[in-house]
A and B are shown apart, each in its own frame.
Chain A
Amino acid sequence: QVQMQESGPGLVKPSQTLSLTCTVSGDSINSGGYYWSWIRQHPGKGLEWIGYIHYSGSTDYNPSLKSRVTISVDTSNNHFSLKLTSVTAADTAVYYCARDLRDDYYDSSGHRKDYGMDVWGQGTTVTVSS
């Protein structure tokens, strides 16, 4: 059974870099061709996709965060990481990692195939404050 666990500092100072790691257990991160996503949730709000990485190293990011986000993968240690630079109080949120079942292929109507995010970490709260 695949499990995922986020780790990293719970408190980050404004203007600094938020760094989180998601460790995957129960399966190899580079098996199955999965995508691995980061999602966050501001207090009392909905879910916001931050970005993904494929085991091959390809990435995609939310345009609203793209200038500040880097997601990387370490297949030897079976984890992937999130870095968010120049944080402000607006980055205070619960951060989740998830296994993302989007496909590389499109259907006959030109829509990318997507089967949801089936495994999630428990989430880690990050507060940005001095």
Chain B
Amino acid sequence: DTQLTQSPSSLSASEGDRVTITCRASQGISSFLAWYQQKPGKAPKLLIYAASTLQSGVPSRFSGSGSGTDFTLTISSLQPEDFATYYCQYLNTFGQGTKLEI
């Protein structure tokens, strides 16, 4: 199975900041990467699929890019509700998560 490595593991930021989270695959996966947001006590929520396609209802401040082995999730202007943990995923594998904190 493909391994997914996220960086950083945690990130401190402030409201209004632009943040970028990286996910690196151990082998090429074309553009088939998904990103999720998870808040404490809640199920993960699909934000982006196919590396850059925004799931319906997700705010446009979220964007994704990349193909092959290197992918990024960018939040253009952090809102209070964006402080959460973010995971990347392809098929059976999830990244280890990035905790976004104030």
Contacts and interface: CB of A to CB of B under 8 A. Distances in A.
Interface of A: 46-49, 60, 62, 96, 98, 101-102, 107, 109, 111-118, 120-123
Given A46-B96, A46-B97, A114 B91 contact: yes
B71 to A, nearest CB: 13
A46 B86 CA distance: 10
B30 A107 contact: yes
Interface in B24-40: 28-30, 32, 34, 36, 38
Given A46-B97, A107-B30, A109-B28, A117 B46 contact: yes
Residue of B92, B96, B97 with most partner-chain A CB within 10 A:
B92
Interface residues of B, number: 26
Contact of B44 (A47, A111, A114, A115): A47
Contact of A111 (B32, B55, B89): B32
B83 interface: no
B87 A47 contact: yes
A123 B94 CA distance: 17
A49 to B, nearest CB: 5
Contacts of A118: 46, 49, 55
Given A48-B94, A96-B43, A120-B44, A114 B87 contact: no
B91 A112 contact: yes
A59 to B, nearest CB: 12
Contacts of A120: 43-45
B93 interface: yes
Q: Considering the complex of A and B, which 6 residue pairs feature the smallest CB-CB distances, nearest first?
A: A116-B34, A120-B43, A116-B49, A47-B94, A114-B32, A111-B30
B78 to A, nearest CB: 22
B84 interface: no
A113 B91 CA distance: 9
Given A101-B49, A120-B43, A123-B43, A114 B94 contact: no
